Structure 1
Amino acid sequence: MRYLTEFHDPRLAATLLDTIAATATRRWTLMEVCGGQTHAIIRNGLDQLLADQVEFIHGPGCPVCVTPLEMIDRALAIAARPEVMLCSFGDMLRVPGSTTDLFTVRAHGGDVRVVYSPLDAVRLAEAHPDRQVVFFAVGFETTAPAAAMAAVTARRRGLTNFTMLVSHVLVPPAMRAVLASPDNRVEAFLAAGHVCTVMGTAQYEPIVAEHRVPIVVTGFEPLDLLDGVRHAITELEAGRITLVNAYPRAVRPEGNPSARAMLEEVFTVCDRPWRGIGMIPASGWRLSPAWSQLDAELRFDIADLTVAESADCHSGEVLQGRLRPPQCPSFGTTCTPRRPLGATMVSAEGACAAYFQHRRLSAVGGGR
Structure 2
Amino acid sequence: MNLIDEFRDKQSILALKKLIEKEIKSSINIMEICGGHTHSIMKYALPSILPKEINFIHGPGCPVCVMPRNRIDIAIKLASMKDNIFCTLGDLLRVPGSDFSLIDLRAKGADVRALYSPLEILEIAQENPNKNIIFFAIGFETTTPMSALLLEKVIELNLKNVFFHINHITVPAPIEAIMDDENVQINAFLGPSHVSVITGFEIYKPIATKFKTPIAVSGFEPVDIMESVLNIVKQINKGTFEVYNQYKRAVSEKGNIKAQNLVTKYFEPCDFEFRGLGIIKNSGLRLREDFSDFDANKRFDCTVLSKNESKGCICGQILRGLAKPYDCKVFGKACTPRSPIGSCMVSGEGACAAYYKYSKVNA
Contact preservation (8 Å) 2:78, 2:86: yes
For residues 100 and 306 of structure 1, the distance between their equivalents in structure 2, rounded to whole angstroms, comes to 12
Contact preservation (8 Å) 1:201, 1:252: yes
User: Given residue 49 of structure 2, which amino acid in structure 1 is its aligned partner?
Assistant: L
For residues 305 and 4 of structure 2, the distance between their equivalents in structure 1, rounded to whole angstroms, comes to 45
For residues 306 and 95 of structure 1, the distance between their equivalents in structure 2, rounded to whole angstroms, comes to 14
Stretches of structure 1 lacking an aligned partner (at least 5 in a row): 363-368
Structure 2 residue matching 1:184: 3-state secondary structure: coil
**Matched residue, 2:208:** 208
Structure 2 residue matching 1:109: 3-state secondary structure: coil
Percent identical among aligned pairs is 39
TM-fit CA distance, 1:312: 2.6
Contact preservation (8 Å) 1:337, 1:353: yes
User: Given residue 17 of structure 2, which amino acid in structure 1 is its aligned partner?
Assistant: L
User: Given residue 217 of structure 2, which amino acid in structure 1 is its aligned partner?
Assistant: V
TM-fit CA distance, 1:30: 0.6
Contact preservation (8 Å) 1:74, 1:305: no
For residues 176 and 78 of structure 1, the distance between their equivalents in structure 2, rounded to whole angstroms, comes to 32
Greater shift, 185-194 or 304-313, is seen at: 304-313
TM-fit CA distance, 1:277: 2.2
Deviations 1:305-363 (A, max 9, x none): 5553333321000111111101111111121111111110111100001111123699x
Q: Does 1:302 align with 2:302?
A: yes
Contact preservation (8 Å) 1:355, 1:361: no
**Matched residue, 2:106:** 106
**Matched residue, 1:14:** 14
Contact preservation (8 Å) 1:80, 1:105: yes
> How large is the Cα RMSD of the aligned pairs?
1.6
Contact preservation (8 Å) 2:98, 2:306: no
TM-score in terms of structure 2 length: 0.96
TM-score in terms of structure 1 length: 0.95
**Matched residue, 1:26:** 26
Structure 2 residue matching 1:272: 3-state secondary structure: strand
**Matched residue, 2:146:** 146
For residues 91 and 188 of structure 2, the distance between their equivalents in structure 1, rounded to whole angstroms, comes to 29
For residues 153 and 24 of structure 2, the distance between their equivalents in structure 1, rounded to whole angstroms, comes to 51
User: Given residue 161 of structure 2, which amino acid in structure 1 is its aligned partner?
Assistant: N
**Matched residue, 2:332:** 332
Contact preservation (8 Å) 2:70, 2:304: no
For residues 361 and 96 of structure 1, the distance between their equivalents in structure 2, rounded to whole angstroms, comes to 27
Contact preservation (8 Å) 1:326, 1:360: no
Contact preservation (8 Å) 1:144, 1:263: yes
For residues 313 and 94 of structure 1, the distance between their equivalents in structure 2, rounded to whole angstroms, comes to 16
Deviations 1:153-185 (A, max 9, x none): 101110110011111111101110111111111
For residues 176 and 106 of structure 2, the distance between their equivalents in structure 1, rounded to whole angstroms, comes to 38
**Matched residue, 1:365:** none
User: Given residue 285 of structure 1, which amino acid in structure 2 is its aligned partner?
Assistant: L
TM-fit CA distance, 1:199: 0.8
**Matched residue, 2:3:** 3
